[in-house]
Amino acid sequence: MPLITVTDSSGSGGFEVAKRVAENLGVEVFDDKRLQVIVTQTGASAGIDVDSDKQTPGFWERLLSREPKVYLDTMEAAVYDIARRGDGVIIGHGSQMLLQDFDCAFHVRLLADFRARVDNLVISQGMDQVAAANLITNSDKNQKSFFHYAFKIDLDTLSLYDLVINMGKLKPGTIANLIVGAVQSEDIRSCDLDALSSMKRLSLERTIHAELLEHNIDVSTLNIAVPQVGTANITGGAVSQDEKKRIPGIVEKVQGISQVNADITVWVYPL
């Protein structure tokens, strides 16, 4: 089954397209709320109180404002955890970049005219024209700024996408059918076991990274590797004996890790 990433913009109607694609293929769609649940299940919530049975408004925004580096690790862990399942439709969250090296992922960019997006928000959200235009302008700015901060590349770099669609003349159902037809072609292959295992290991590495940051560990001097699911290798340096002792215990508590191999030295600073 296909693994699809969809990158849209506020007011474009991209969620409706993604939902139709998922329904047509019989797979799950992963939006902000669904990714939030994944975060709680993987244990990568970075200390934010979240009820997995109750969606928390502004979860990702609060996490980003609290600590951008922790946000990045948490987001990446969630995307990789979804991807290792082998199918689904992931909306945004840098998924088109994070899964760029996996041939089994199909990346879609949905574009829509600014005025059409404003009109969509006016109709769907009951907003006035000025408020809708301001919301979209700010959303676009934040989306592009974050993507450049996270990946050092422009969001609209065409090489990131396998299919770019201008939504101006096409209805959501027609666009969904185009995407479904593309991913069902013989040219697109499913994720093999090696790719799925690699995604799971990447998810665990980012979760470990986030948890260490949350516990005020300087990860810049550490190398974190998960050579196989369940095993974590931590090498590098710590600033103190106390930190050296704390690191294995923090990593052991990460869901999915049962063995920690730590080879950590304590930095000696000249007097």
Question: Is residue 181 very low, low, confident or very high in pLDDT (cuts 50, 70, 90)?
Answer: very high
Cross-strand bridge partners of residue 202: none
Token reading at 162? 């396998």
Q: What is the pTM of this model?
A: 0.84
Q: What is the DSSP string of the chain?
A: --EEEEE--TTS-HHHHHHHHHHHHT--EE-HHHHHHHHHHHT-STT----TTS--TTHHHHHHHH-HHHHHHHHHHHHHHHHTTS-EEEESTTHHHHTTT-TTEEEEEEE--HHHHHHHHHHHH---HHHHHHHHHHHHHHHHHHHHHHHSS-TT-GGG-SEEEEGGGS-HHHHHHHHHHHHTSTTS----HHHHHHHHHHHHHHHHHHHHHHTT--GGGEEEEEEETTEEEEEEEESSHHHHHHHHHHHHTSTT--EEEEEEEE-----
Specify the pLDDT at position 51: 42
| Paired tokens of 119 | 């009109």
Separation between Cα atoms, residue 108 and residue 160, nearest integer Å:
9
pLDDT band at 226 (very low <50, low <70, confident <90, very high): very high
Q: Specify the CATH superfamily of domain 3-183.
A: P-loop containing nucleotide triphosphate hydrolases (3.40.50.300)
Q: Is residue 162 within 8 Å of residue 189, measured between CB atoms? A: no
pLDDT at 43: 57
pLDDT band at 227 (very low <50, low <70, confident <90, very high): very high
Calculate mean pLDDT across residues 37-52.
58
Report residue 132 as tokens: 């809708």
- Given a contact cutoff of 8 angstroms between Cβ atoms, the answer to whether 163 and 96 are in contact is no
Q: What angle do CA 190, 193, 196 make, to 5 degrees?
A: 80
Q: Identity (one letter) of the amino acid at 212?
A: L
Q: How confident is the model over 69-96, as pLDDT tens digits? A: 888 888 899 899 988 888 999 999 899 9
In sequence order, the β-bridge partners of residue 234 are: 224, 262
If pLDDT is split at 50, 70 and 90, which confidence band does 60 have? low
Q: What's the pLDDT score for residue 62?
A: 64
Cα separation, 244 vs 237, in Å, equals: 8
pLDDT the model gives residue 104: 87
Spell out a b/e string for 126-141, using b for 16 or more CB atoms within 10 Å of the CB, else e.
ebeeeebbebbeeebe
Query: What is the arithmetic mean of pLDDT over 263-270?
Result: 83
User: What are the tens digits of pLDDT across the range 8-23?
Assistant: 999 999 999 999 999 9
Instruction: Check residue 119 and give its pLDDT.
Output: 95
| pLDDT per position as a tens digit, 93-116 | 899 999 998 888 999 999 999 999
Between 45-59, 205-219, 227-241, 255-269, the lowest mean confidence (pLDDT) is in: 45-59
- 53: confidence class by pLDDT, cuts 50, 70, 90: very low
**pLDDT over 90 for what percent of the chain?**
66
Nearest to 251 by CA among 200, 211, 198: 211
Across the chain, mean pLDDT equals 88
